[in-house]
Structure 1
Amino acid sequence: MTSNFAFAALQRAYSQPDATAFSAERKVSYQRFADLTVNFARRLEALGVGRDATVALAIQDLPLAIAAVTAVGLLGARWVQLADIAPATFPGTTHVLTSGAGAERPGGIAIDPNWLDAGVSTEAALTGFAGAATPDATWMIAHSSGTTGKLKYMPLSYEAVGRRIANPELQDGAPPTTLTLFSPLSYIGAKIGTGNLVLGGTNAQWAPWEQLLAGGVNRIMGSPAQFTSAIFSRTAPPARKIRSAKVTGAAVTQKFVETALRYFDELYVLYGATEVGTTTLAVYTDAAQYNGSAGHPYEGAVVEILDADGRPCPAGTEGMVRVKTDWAVPGYIGEPELTAAYFQDGWFHPGDLGTLDSTGALTITGRTGDVINAGGRKLNAAELDEIIQAHSEVQDGYCFIDRDQFGADVLAVVLALTPTANPSCLAEIRDAAIAKLGKSKSPQRFYIAAKVPRNENGKPMRREAAAGVGGYVLIEV
């Protein structure tokens, strides 16, 4: 595959023009996708987009979003998602391309009907586009999860994205017909959307379960919270399963594995970060296999566990995780201090705590920044989160620090419950926390929400939970 996967995706399109690139209420063939992409590229080029341009995108429609990012690739330019989590525009943005809900953005270039009125193109059209100057040129300016309150931007090169597309979570031995629960312009959404096309697969959009099966969907990708809210809480365990679920963004629980395998033949658990891509992979086909592991590193990835002095820990000893991959970003844009803190001697330090067993399998046990201090009582938040999420009547939930009327810390929980949940489940969660962690580390308040706040990668947003308590229902236990 060429290091510029945009050309690889279009070459694939011209080799199978009648195949389905996107399936939903309206199907988009590979030929139609190629025509749209070439038209988008020509229009962007006429607006001055070239190798030095940075295009901010606010596009809701999946086919149009992937056509836009692929068009940017044909021109060798850069793009950045224009989302609610991000500032109005990324510094250095030269153009803003919008559609749908993003069309009101100031200075935005709207995708109007002329952009969609694309004539039939051929592979010869690709010779008219320059592509990236070098493989290490930036294609996507991705941003971190923002869970720390400090949004960090990073450059993903054409070569790095091509390497990530070649990783096993995409290439697992079956033609990919994939539904991703991530937004199309998120890092994961864009990687999956373009990667499916490079591999000759289909990007599916949400539909009822039987329609997904009829459309040939063989894998769904999302975070644990996205699977729970979009699938498990809406669809009863089906008579016919989809081949695989691929979950990333947070650790999975025994309950999650048991539930997922009622819907899917296989469960892929992926660990990684935008900074280094997917790093480890565990595959479950039976809930009895679950041991909390995130699996073994891919070829080209190395994981180590360090003690407080920065020395490698023995197998089974908890310490700080560090990761090295062949497809990592070089650091954060305009943030030399943060780059120095997280990237050291070729290693990325994600802030996770974990262990490696004697076979090299990684288990994440928490985060260095997720130690909650409630009135002097320190708690690894992941321990309490696991107890919360293990309850059968909890759709989603996690702990956070609230404040009482005097400003003192209170350990609280925000929950989304199943429609048939019994109020006694809250006392059961509290009692389970007392039994495992002790009374001083059990929750003092329970808030019920329609949806708990998570970022687009599915990670808990504990500050937002604390700020949003006025919109939750407080239940006394």
Structure 2
Amino acid sequence: MEVPDWQTIPRMLRDLAEEHPSDTVVVDGPVRLTLAELRTRAGGIARGLIALGVRAGDRVAIWGPNDLHWVVCAFGVWDAGAVLVPLSSRFKGVEAAGVLRSTGTNVLITGHGHDGTVLADLLAETAGGPARGLPFAGLPDLRHSIVPEELERPGSLRPSQLLSAGSRIGHAEAEDRARAVRPDDLCEIMSTSGTTGTPKGVMLEHAPTLRGYRDWAEIVTLGPGDRYPVIAPFSHGFGLNAGLLASVMRRATMMPIRVFGPELLAALIRDRRITILAGPPTLFHRLLEETDVGDHALRVAICGAASVPPELVRRLTEQIGLERVINAYGLMEGTVVAMTRADDPVEVVASSAGRPVPGMEVRIVGDDGLDVPAGERGEVLVRGYGVMRGYWGEPDKTAEVIRDGWLHTGDVGTLDPRGNLSIVDRKKELFISGGFNVSPAEVEGLLLREGSLAQAAVIGVPDARLGEVGWAFVVPRPGAAVDPEKIIAWARDNMSNYKAPRRVIVVEALPANANGKIDKRALRARVAH
């Protein structure tokens, strides 16, 4: 595929704003933003960040739900030559503080949580209030915090104050900063739990990220005139790169979705006339079973799941009249790896993630590291331009997963004779709840902070609405009385809702295998019975 010679996100925005200034790329409620307006407003944020002392390569975090402000600030961060650190709007204070601390983030831009919570206040509860010229005493690298305009928080600035500070910075200086960004500079540090449960920061560079999601958008046929609701959070790789970034690159109209509910689906299709829809298979089952589609403009569905029922694909094309149903495979560490194509039959779309995208290679290897025959299971290895630079500040963990140029994904898959990749098992222990990856090890570590537990083991259990939910088996500390409902309530107060276990089971001891590790197969068997 021909790839534009942008190489960096600031250059991409400038080229498109000059060539297509009046194209609308964001619609958020009644507010519409063109490419020219996006460039202007992003430039204001960039000058404000420069005025605060942000240097090229500094980390700037954004913490809030999908909205217009998030979009503008992201491009402002990139224009300033800084590295974007997205934080989930579902994070609690302890989770946000962990990412900010590990990445050495210098500036934090915050919003409100889904329920109206002031996110900065959650952080203050964990990291302390302002002290010694810092907005949060327990975060020594974090020099500045930006809170929503209507708030007044000691030690923090409001967006208007950020823009006012930026007025001291000349446009030429800001342009020089934006144009000085290099193709191999970092653009993002994305949080992922990976296979170990300890959150890590995936380092992604400008040029590979642009190429990967331009190719993705090309295959999806996303382009001018498309209306694309971005349901996945901007803090997630898909929401940020296949949503926010891809929409601007392809001059499509993005609609940031703060909170997605069943009632919104019908409104998106009937009233907002969306043309592209991405989500898990459960979303499209809901579209078929619960939504009166009627006259619509929807033409492409992107499922992105290990397995999609063939009947779902048929119904979407025959009953709804979609042009395409697309399945794909990617991961934070490897960007876009494989996608189904326009001429693929239903069976291929339903059972595989298609073939590798140009510039990416896939191997399936056995325990001996050798390639297995077509159709046999093995670990999925990935090589190509989209593989991450590594994990932020963790060279040892980087070396564990990138060996001899190949990214060892930890996923189990097969390749058919035509090269179609099927994922047949997820990374060790990881499960997906409501479209969010959940690492049991991370949840277990958070649960142990509650204070009354000696051990915790979390597994994913099938759930009709969310796909899977967490169940926690817990062992009390000596002399402690554990109330499962209180543990669940504590979890909801102290971790993202999709991570919080839906059920807690108190046991005297956890089963162990021959290696002395917790035997989660035994726990799953207990649930099955």
Same fold (TM over 0.5): yes
Larger mean Cα displacement after TM superposition, 232-241 or 28-37 = 232-241
Whole-angstrom CA distance in 2 between matches of 1:397 and 1:210: 24
1:56-95 residue pairs with structure 2 within 5 A?
Answer: 56-83=61-88, 84=91, 85-86=95-96, 87=98, 89-91=100-102, 92-95=104-107
Deviation at 1:211, TM superposition (A): 4.8
Deviation at 1:214, TM superposition (A): 5.5
In the alignment, structure 1 segments of 5+ residues that lack a partner are 373-384, 407-454
Matched with 1:243 is 299
Question: For residues 468 and 38 of structure 1, do their structure 2 counterparts lie closer, same or farther at Cα, with a shift above 3 Å needed?
Answer: farther
Residue type of the alignment partner of 2:275: N
CA offset digits 1:395-416 (Å, max 9, x no partner): 443487765999xxxxxxxxxx
Whole-angstrom CA distance in 2 between matches of 1:215 and 1:3: 33
Deviation at 1:79, TM superposition (A): 1.8
Deviation at 1:51, TM superposition (A): 0.3
TM-score relative to the length of structure 1: 0.72
Contact 1:179/1:220 (CA < 8 Å) preserved in 2?
yes
Matched with 2:330 is 272
Residue type of the alignment partner of 1:245: A
Give the counterpart of 1:187 among 222, 225, 237.
237
What SS class does the counterpart of residue 97 from structure 1 fall into?
A: strand
Deviation at 1:65, TM superposition (A): 1.0
Matched with 1:203 is 254
What SS class does the counterpart of residue 374 from structure 2 fall into?
A: coil
1:30-179 residue pairs with structure 2 within 5 A?
Answer: 30=34, 31-83=36-88, 84=91, 85-86=95-96, 87=98, 89-91=100-102, 92-101=104-113, 102-104=119-121, 105-106=123-124, 107=135, 108-112=145-149, 114=160, 127-145=175-193, 148-170=196-218, 172-173=220-221, 174-175=223-224, 176-179=226-229
Whole-angstrom CA distance in 1 between matches of 2:71 and 2:218: 17
Question: For residues 14 and 28 of structure 1, do their structure 2 counterparts lie closer, same or farther at Cα, with a shift above 3 Å needed?
Answer: farther
Question: For residues 56 and 396 of structure 1, do their structure 2 counterparts lie closer, same or farther at Cα, with a shift above 3 Å needed?
Answer: closer
Residue type of the alignment partner of 2:61: A
Question: Are residue 330 (structure 1) and residue 389 (structure 2) matched?
Answer: yes
Residue type of the alignment partner of 2:146: I
Whole-angstrom CA distance in 1 between matches of 2:247 and 2:6: 15
Question: For residues 405 and 43 of structure 1, do their structure 2 counterparts lie closer, same or farther at Cα, with a shift above 3 Å needed?
Answer: closer
Question: For residues 169 and 200 of structure 1, do their structure 2 counterparts lie closer, same or farther at Cα, with a shift above 3 Å needed?
Answer: closer
Deviation at 1:219, TM superposition (A): 1.0
Matched with 2:370 is 311
Q: Over aligned residue pairs, what C-alpha RMSD do you find?
A: 3.9
CA offset digits 1:49-103 (Å, max 9, x no partner): 1204211111324221121111111111112123315426243111111223334
Question: For residues 355 and 64 of structure 1, do their structure 2 counterparts lie closer, same or farther at Cα, with a shift above 3 Å needed?
Answer: same
Residue type of the alignment partner of 2:419: G
Whole-angstrom CA distance in 2 between matches of 1:187 and 1:318: 27
Residue type of the alignment partner of 1:152: K
Whole-angstrom CA distance in 2 between matches of 1:140 and 1:240: 36
Deviation at 1:358, TM superposition (A): 0.9
Question: Are residue 397 (structure 1) and residue 467 (structure 2) matched?
Answer: yes
Contact 2:219/2:341 (CA < 8 Å) preserved in 1?
no
Calculate percent identity across the aligned residue pairs: 23
Question: For residues 169 and 198 of structure 1, do their structure 2 counterparts lie closer, same or farther at Cα, with a shift above 3 Å needed?
Answer: closer
Question: For residues 224 and 144 of structure 1, do their structure 2 counterparts lie closer, same or farther at Cα, with a shift above 3 Å needed?
Answer: farther
Deviation at 1:279, TM superposition (A): 0.7
CA offset digits 1:178-212 (Å, max 9, x no partner): 22221123222221212211222211245554554
Whole-angstrom CA distance in 2 between matches of 1:136 and 1:404: 46
What SS class does the counterpart of residue 134 from structure 1 fall into?
A: coil
Question: For residues 172 and 75 of structure 1, do their structure 2 counterparts lie closer, same or farther at Cα, with a shift above 3 Å needed?
Answer: same
Larger mean Cα displacement after TM superposition, 62-71 or 295-304 = 62-71
Whole-angstrom CA distance in 1 between matches of 2:195 and 2:284: 20
Contact 1:224/1:247 (CA < 8 Å) preserved in 2?
yes
What SS class does the counterpart of residue 313 from structure 2 fall into?
A: helix
Deviation at 1:468, TM superposition (A): 5.0
Question: For residues 170 and 177 of structure 1, do their structure 2 counterparts lie closer, same or farther at Cα, with a shift above 3 Å needed?
Answer: farther
Residue type of the alignment partner of 1:279: V
Whole-angstrom CA distance in 1 between matches of 2:185 and 2:502: 40
What SS class does the counterpart of residue 167 from structure 1 fall into?
A: helix
Question: For residues 467 and 351 of structure 1, do their structure 2 counterparts lie closer, same or farther at Cα, with a shift above 3 Å needed?
Answer: farther
Contact 2:234/2:240 (CA < 8 Å) preserved in 1?
yes
Question: For residues 476 and 339 of structure 1, do their structure 2 counterparts lie closer, same or farther at Cα, with a shift above 3 Å needed?
Answer: closer
What SS class does the counterpart of residue 129 from structure 1 fall into?
A: helix
Question: For residues 14 and 468 of structure 1, do their structure 2 counterparts lie closer, same or farther at Cα, with a shift above 3 Å needed?
Answer: farther
Deviation at 1:164, TM superposition (A): 1.6
Residue type of the alignment partner of 1:246: I
Give the counterpart of 1:353 among 397, 406, 412.
412
